[in-house]
Structure 1
Amino acid sequence: MDAHPAVPCTLPEGSRATPVRRYRAGQWHSAQDVLADEVPVALEYNGVSHAVMLATPADLEDFALGFSLTEGLVQHAGQVYGIEADPGTEGITLRLEVAASCFVQFKDRRRSLAGRTGCGLCGAESLGQAVRPVAPLSSQAQFSPEALISGMGQLRARQPLLAATGATHAAGWCDAQGQLHWVREDVGRHNALDKLIGALLRRPAEQRQALPEGQGFVVVTSRASHEMVQKTAAAGVPLLAAVSGVTALALQTAEAAGLSLLGFARGSDFSVYTQGHRVAGET
């Protein structure tokens, strides 16, 4: 990847242009650069503040729904009745109306979460909140090495924010044949995955029937941490392939959830850490 990507004619959502001075080969030059936006995004549930995350202000309804599911604040999309984005001078507030049963649980475990792009556990009040149990996956899906390689290989071409800024992560969902269908980007890897999960949940019913989450896999441009595994499993997706390495806690979480965890998925190579039976030909 170039140190300074070319400035596109039309800036992608969630980015802005800025003048810069560049020093190259002993010479100074004036140029235009593109920056990924990173703003505070507050999430409120039935009028009560829950979390403030730093995120790229694009696909925010996807983010709100995905975050709500993967944080255990709702059990399914039908419990979210409405999402309203309210821009302000200091950031954006996402106001969610959720079912009364969810709101009772939310108040019982309310926390003040000061989000950062590199940390998904900031603000947890106890060890139990930091590492929550994951329900075991029931999917019997199996994927060929060729499908996994194809899915990861398509991801780079579907990242307009990265192409413009060089500063964002992405998460994508592929079907069993390795066709990449949905991609979301963000400055934070957790946020990108939450946006992707929210996009999957918001699909029309006919798309969900034709391409169920449990028959596909997720590809991400980051390492595979515990929370990336937890979020993938919470969405009912049976396999996570990451371009970088995996952590020890991610491996433990994947084993407990029955999730297939792949790391160093680059080019035609990858490493299988857990549940290798889902990769055809792995013995």
Structure 2
Amino acid sequence: MRALPAEHAIVSAGYALRDVQRWRDGRIETDQDCIAEELPIALLYNDRPHVVMMATPRDLDDFVLGFSLSEAVIDHADELSDVQIHALLEGIEVRVRIPGAHAEVLEGRRRNLTGGTSCGLCGAQALEDAVRQPAPVDAGVEIDPRALHRALDHLQDLQPLNTATGATHAAAWAHADGSIALLREDVGRHNALDKLIGAMTRAGERVSAGFAVITSRASYEMVQKAATVGIPVLAAISAPTALAIQLAESTGVTLIGFARNNSHVIYTQPHAATGSRREHAA
């Protein structure tokens, strides 16, 4: 791959401006549109290629940390070091160092994935790679339904990239009272969650003290990532899949879907999101 000149720093708003022809009220007019950026991001651990993800080229430090944690490449943030991000003509290359023991485990998985924005595990070579079973999560705080919808009400206002382009997902971390502490955006829903996990880790957020909200469906990979880092409650504005529900049940994650328009559906662990935990304990 060919490196770009040094003056091409990786500073991205996440979108590009493009001239377009817009049809409106029977007339054609020239206009400018904000288009979400999507580039291949190659991730190398200890100089060994591991995965290429199509992602929005912003918050890449959060992305590599969150991906490394949610995919169980490392156990703790301080095991990731010497992060080097290089802009190339073909995309972006991210090189990181991890402990040798983790690198050996990673090599043993024999995974060299090419993930798209709708699939995070394309190319897994074994069933155990595709459906990894995380350990059960610790119990979190009870989430009042009003707190969940308080977070949902503020979600759109905190998505500048989606406001500009209409093409990105978001993952947000909210405290128990529904106040949103962190939010990350990306063209890929998996990437947005990984970026959020990285940002939460850097900020020292306690996973037991809040809940995550995603602007997408809740596929099993999203539950898998949440459970791997210990997030106890995951709320999606769209539907879950059957495997996501099964995985949430087995790991103790409270999974919520169709969270919008002042309503939602609780699929697993309902006591954590209905205020009934105390009743169960009584």
TM-score (norm 2): 0.92
Q: Taking every aligned residue pair, what percent have the same amino acid on both sides?
A: 48
- Change in Cα spacing, 1:166 to 1:12, as seen in structure 2 (3 Å) is farther
What is the match of residue 8 of structure 2?
Answer: none
- Report Cα offsets for 1:32-54 as digits up to 9, x if no partner: 10100000000000111000000
The yes-or-no answer on 1:39 pairing with 2:39 is: yes
- Is there any run of 5+ residues in structure 2 with no aligned partner, and where? 1-10
CA contact (8 A) 1:153 1:267 kept: no
- For 2:275 and 2:211, the matched residues in 1 are separated by 17
Moved more, 175-184 or 211-220: 211-220
- For 2:49 and 2:38, the matched residues in 1 are separated by 20
- Is there any run of 5+ residues in structure 1 with no aligned partner, and where? 1-10
Superposed, 1:63-142 pairs within 5 Å as: 63-142=63-142
- For 2:30 and 2:40, the matched residues in 1 are separated by 31
CA contact (8 A) 1:139 1:215 kept: no
- Report Cα offsets for 1:9-64 as digits up to 9, x if no partner: xx971111000001122111110101000000000001110000000000001100
Superposed, 1:1-80 pairs within 5 Å as: 13-80=13-80
* Displacement of 1:164: 0.4
- For 1:280 and 1:247, the matched residues in 2 are separated by 22
SS in 1 for 2:53: strand
* Displacement of 1:224: 0.3
Deviation above 6 Å: which 4+ runs of structure 1? none
CA contact (8 A) 1:83 1:97 kept: yes
Aligned residues: 267
What is the match of residue 252 of structure 2?
Answer: 258
* Displacement of 1:233: 1.0
Superposition RMSD in Å: 1.4
- For 2:21 and 2:12, the matched residues in 1 are separated by 22
* Displacement of 1:71: 1.1
What is the match of residue 198 of structure 1?
Answer: 198
* Displacement of 1:252: 0.2
* Displacement of 1:191: 0.3
The letter for the 2-side match of 1:20 is V
- For 2:49 and 2:73, the matched residues in 1 are separated by 13
CA contact (8 A) 2:41 2:55 kept: yes
What is the match of residue 265 of structure 2?
Answer: 271
The yes-or-no answer on 1:220 pairing with 2:220 is: no
- Report Cα offsets for 1:232-268 as digits up to 9, x if no partner: 1112110000000110000000001100000000031
What is the match of residue 234 of structure 2?
Answer: 240
